[in-house]
Amino acid sequence: MTINAFPCAWPNGWKRTTAAFRRSARFGKARQRGASGWVSAQSLTVTDATIRVLTELARMGIQRDDCVISTNVPLRLDGLPRGGTAEPDDPSAVVYWRDSFDARRVMAIDQYDRVADNLAAIAATLDAMRSIERHGGAMILERAFTGFTALPAPPLSDAVPTWWAVLGLERDATREEAKAAHRRLASQYHPDKPGGSNAKMAEINAALAQAEQETA
C-alpha cells in the first residue's frame, strides 16, 4: 500500500475532532504485582496499542504487509513507533488494510488526546466487529465493513510533498541527515548559484524547519 505511516494520512471524507473536543481515555494494560495478582496500573504506550491493532488484524487474516498504521509518531526502522517522542499536537490514528477480497478498508479515530488511546480504540472496534463473525454473521460483517471503504487519495498534483521527499531522504531520516541534505541542496539551488531558484530554496528551507520539529 502507498499510504504514509508518518505523518498521519487522514482519510478522505472522514470528519475531524477539534482539539477542544478531544477527551482522555481509560485504555490501559494489566501488570502482575507479586502475589497480589493482576492489576490495571499502566497506560498503554503507542507500541502497545500498535501491537493490539496488528493482533486484531491478524485475527481477521490480514497480514502485516497488507496494512498501514498511520500516526504522527515517527517510526523506527522496523516500522514500529519510535520511543521517547513527545505526544504530537495531532494524536490521530488511522489504519488502512486490504481485506480478503482485495478491497481497501480504513478506520480512523481522533477523539482522544493520546495516539495510544486512539489506536487502542481502533483495536477495540475491530474486536467488537469481529464478534459479529464469531456469532455466525460473516455476511453481516462484510456489509458492516463496506462502510469503512477507503476513498481514493487526492490527485498527486494536490499533494503536499513531505520534508523527507523534498530533501531526498527516507522518512526515518535523522535531524543530522536532514541538515546534511539541506546543505547539499542549498549549494545547488541557492539563488546566487547558476540555475538556483528562490522558490526552490524556500521549499528546501521549509523542509529543514519541519524536519527539525519532527526529528531527534
Domain boundaries, the chain: 19-148, 160-214
Q: Is 160-214 a domain of CATH 2.40.420.20?
A: no
User: Of the segments 12-16, 123-127, 130-134, 209-213, which one has the largest average pLDDT value?
Assistant: 123-127
- Listed in order, strand segments (DSSP E) in the chain are 28-32, 38-43, 67-71, 93-98, 104-109
The reported pLDDT for the residue numbered 194 is 82
DSSP state for residue 20 in the 8-state scheme? G
- Tell me the pTM: 0.64
Burial 128-161 (b: 16+ CB within 10 A, else e): ebeebbeeeeeeebeeebeebebeeeeeeeeeee
What is the grid cell recorded at 155?
490527485
pLDDT digits (tens, 9 = 90+) for 99-142: 877 788 999 999 999 999 999 999 999 998 888 766 666 666 66
Percent of the chain with pLDDT over 70: 82
DSSP state for residue 185 in the 8-state scheme? H
| pLDDT at residue 36 greater than cutoff 60 | no
Instruction: Give the N- to C-terminal CA distance of the chain in Å, as an integer.
Output: 27
Higher confidence at residue 34 or residue 215?
A: 215
